[in-house]
Amino acid sequence: MSVTHPAGFVASGVVAGLKSTGARDLALVVNQGPSIAAAAVFTSNRAKANPVLWSEQAVKDGRIAAVVLNSGGANCFTGSFGFQTTHATAEAVATALEVSASDVLVCSTGLIGVGDQTFRDAILDNVPAAAAALSPDGGADAAQAIMTTDTKPKQSVAESAAGWSIGGMAKGAGMLAPGLATMLVVITTDADLPADVLDRALRAATRVTFDRVDSDGCMSTNDTVTLLASGASGVAADEGEFTAALTDLCRDLAIQLQKDAEGASHDISIEVVNAASEDDAVVVGRAVSRSNLLKAAIFGNDPNWGRVLAALGTTDAVFDPYEIDVSMNGVMVCRRGEPFESRDLVDLAPRATTILIDLKSGDAEATIYTNDLTHDYVHENSAYAS
């Protein structure tokens, strides 16, 4: 059900011929109201795809009636022709649904540089079919249609005792950037909340969930997370409760992304504790998550903790490198910058891996979600375009 779980939403996923496999590749999510309040966050990459350039403007007034999403081409670095394709897509959806084109958000995912006449025709020719297929049960088809190298659709729902609910779908893995396919997320709710509350809640939730997934350090050009609120429950949700529920749902989707990252054989949680600030904890966790050497070692079930310390030593976070403790799956392999418990005690056979870093510099903490570096990652990303 996912995005169609909350009241007031219909969705569809159809075959537009963008994927060579013939799988679903064009999705629509429509908010039937009574409210069409919305918020969205986008990639911070300065190289932004045409759909991102369009959608940043479309969401500025806090109103989105429909989201149209395609896989099979990112429509990024495709010039003015590509932007016109995005614009024409929004117009086609607007015509089919009798809404304003400026209330249509557009998302694309796939290879950068793909967005020619064939791409445009495939989308425009199939928008009417996507509109005709809209259904209160269409969430699963939509979640299928936005997949690229994902092996499974990612969906999540949450219910509040207060009478409102949230649903969400996601594909890819953002900075995990599977093959530069990109992270796209659509979240719906029937809570009755204005756009400014949705915006605050969405930024608070993504900051500690999607923004903390870092599988391969590569930031996408197309990342978009959208939150649509129909108000159909008739309940004005408490902002604090709503933000907490939204954060949990975003974390659930983020971890689904991590678990399906290309080629990964370990899901690694890098838990940084006792940092001087949350920013410091994030900086240290992210630096460690970007060490190819560490990630290759984890792939080989090798608890090479020296690579953790070498990575965090490149940051300017507050700590004394010779006071740090490092534990891997519960074994403190390094205490105060020296070998402590035997590395032979560390069991890295399970897919779930935890690296705990105690900076002993304060009481802030953060967890970064990453993956190992495997032969399959190299293979999939050397062969993506072929």
The region of 71-79, 147-155, 200-208, 358-366 touching a copy of itself under the rule CB under 8 A is: 71-79
> Are 323 and 357 a contacting pair, CB within 8 Å?
no
The region of 44-52, 142-150, 226-234, 267-275 touching a copy of itself under the rule CB under 8 A is: 44-52
Select from 35, 220, 224, 367 the one that contacts a copy of itself (CB under 8 A).
Answer: 220
Smallest separation, CB 295 to a copy of itself (Å): 9
329 counts as binding a copy of itself under rule CB under 8 A: no
Residues 3-42 that bind a copy of itself (CB under 8 A): none
Backbone angle region of 312, left / alpha / beta, with phi > 0 → left and psi within -120 to 50 → alpha:
alpha
182 flagged as catalytic: yes
Chain position carrying tokens 């918020």? 39
Residues 362-381 that bind a copy of itself (CB under 8 A): 373-375, 377-379, 381
Give dist(CA 273, CA 178) in Å, integer.
29
Residue 146 or 177: the one with the smaller Cβ distance to a copy of itself is 177
Chain position carrying tokens 């690579």? 307
354 counts as binding a copy of itself under rule CB under 8 A: no
Give dist(CA 235, CA 229) in Å, integer.
11
Residue 165 or 304: the one with the smaller Cβ distance to a copy of itself is 304
**Token pair for residue 265?**
């054989």
**Token pair for residue 166?**
């949230």
> Are 233 and 242 a contacting pair, CB within 8 Å?
no
Binding characters for a copy of itself, 100-129, by CB under 8 A (x = yes): -----------xxx----------------
> Are 163 and 36 a contacting pair, CB within 8 Å?
no
Residue 360 DSSP label: -
Residues 281-320 that bind a copy of itself (CB under 8 A): 290-293, 296-297, 299-300, 302, 304-307, 309-315
Smallest separation, CB 163 to a copy of itself (Å): 42
Residue 103 or 262: the one with the smaller Cβ distance to a copy of itself is 262
Give dist(CA 126, CA 157) in Å, integer.
29
163 counts as binding a copy of itself under rule CB under 8 A: no
Binding characters for a copy of itself, 165-184, by CB under 8 A (x = yes): ------------x-xx----
Residues 6 or more apart in contact with residue 244 via CB below 8 angstroms: none
Select from 15, 32, 45, 277 the one that contacts a copy of itself (CB under 8 A).
Answer: 45
Give dist(CA 149, CA 132) in Å, integer.
27
Burial of 88 (0-12, 13-18, 19+ CB in 10 A): middle
Residues 6 or more apart in contact with residue 303 via CB below 8 angstroms: 297, 328, 329, 331, 333, 343, 346, 348
385 counts as binding a copy of itself under rule CB under 8 A: yes
Catalytic residue among 182, 224, 243, 367: 182
Give dist(CA 67, CA 321) in Å, integer.
48
> Are 174 and 182 a contacting pair, CB within 8 Å?
yes
Total of residues contacting a copy of itself (CB under 8 A): 61
Smallest separation, CB 86 to a copy of itself (Å): 15
The CA distances from residue 188 to 31, 32, 92, 102, 192, in Å, are 8, 11, 22, 19, 11
Q: How many CA atoms lie within 13 A of 252 on its CB side?
A: 18
Residue 338 or 363: the one with the smaller Cβ distance to a copy of itself is 338
Mind telling me the catalytic residues?
A: 182
Binding site for a copy of itself (CB under 8 A): 44-48, 74, 76-79, 111-113, 177, 179-180, 216-221, 290-293, 296-297, 299-300, 302, 304-307, 309-315, 321-322, 334, 336-339, 373-375, 377-379, 381-386
